[in-house]
A = this chain, B = another copy of it.
Amino acid sequence: MLPNWILEESVRRALAEDVGTGDLTTNSLVPVGARAEAVIYSKGAGVLAGLPVAARVFHMLDARIKVEEHISEGDLLKPGSIIARVEGPARGVLTGERTALNFLQRLSGIATATRQLVESIAGTRARLVDTRKTTPGLRALEKYAVRTGGGYNHRIGLYDGILIKDNHIKVAGGITRAISQARAAVPYIVKIEIEVESLEQLEEALAAGADLIMLDNMPPPLLRKAVALTGGRVPLEASGGITAGRIREVAETGVDFISVGAITHSAPALDISMDVGEIKKSFRESG
């Protein structure tokens, strides 16, 4: 699901910053020809995301390392779940361990946080969407982790969707003018979403032809009125300060989307480890 070159560039950057000019410890102690077998497993409970990235880490270090998947992306992990088996030249296996785990832990952390909220709103019409509050440099990967966790992606960046916020409204001179100016500049190819803070603004946005409306920081009763007022004409997105404790209540108001920044910016890492078995010192291979 992730383009080849995004994977490659992300992994190369991560390895360059960790390994730099070489792994002093492994190069000092592990013979070139030694082989290792290792198991990546979960110490916590959650959702797996990032295994293809971790596999790429090992492959970029040494194309001969094999990563055999035991569990698929998006599957549930319990403490002790075996995720994958890694086998090949021991230097690459040991040198890649931390970088591979750093990707896995972060992406699985996001998928796990996403899945928890998705389950909280199960049975409602609401879908969980992410925001642009991602770690700088990792957006494509983090948005992939959200999808893997069962969430949906909002726009990727400023270039693939229009979201008119209060400041834009003020500059444009009101909601109606903002929508019509945006429509004139970027006709019908891109959806125009606008942020509203009251039912009056919602009515104006509906009348002005917004494609999507974000209800900013509205309490559930107000959200419910907004849903009623809109009557299904356009999808509604609830946004702002929505915590795990409140999300079900928000979902039950009938909104179509709930966006939560915390699933990317504050998801704790999922605890994932690698266990290296016996390392065999074999003879140096030719080649």
Q: A10-B137, A158-B26, A159-B160 are in contact. Are A189 and B212 (CB under 8 A)?
A: yes
Contact A137 B30 (CB under 8 A): no
A181 at interface, CB cutoff 8 A: yes
How many copies the complex holds: the figure is 6
Number of interface residues of A (CB under 8 A): 101
A6 at interface, CB cutoff 8 A: yes
A103 at interface, CB cutoff 8 A: yes
In the bound complex, residues from chain B placing their C-beta under 8 Å from that of A94 are 167-168
Smallest Cβ-Cβ distance to A69: which chain B residue: B286
Q: Report Cα–Cα, A137/B158, bound state, in Å.
A: 21
Contact A102 B133 (CB under 8 A): yes
Smallest Cβ-Cβ distance to A160: which chain B residue: B160
Q: A20-B159, A135-B102 are in contact. Are A109 and B266 (CB under 8 A)?
A: yes
A162 at interface, CB cutoff 8 A: yes
In the bound complex, residues from chain B placing their C-beta under 8 Å from that of A13 are 136-137
Contact A140 B189 (CB under 8 A): no
A154 at interface, CB cutoff 8 A: yes
10 pairs, A vs B, C-beta closer than 8 Å: A2-B22, A3-B15, A21-B159, A26-B168, A95-B158, A101-B133, A167-B276, A170-B279, A189-B191, A266-B268
Please list the residues of chain A having a beta carbon within 8 angstroms of any beta carbon in chain B. 1-6, 10-31, 34, 36, 60-62, 90, 94-95, 98-99, 101-103, 105-106, 109, 127, 129, 132-140, 143, 152-165, 167-168, 170-172, 178, 181-182, 184-191, 211-212, 235, 256-257, 261-262, 265-266, 268-269, 276, 278-279, 281
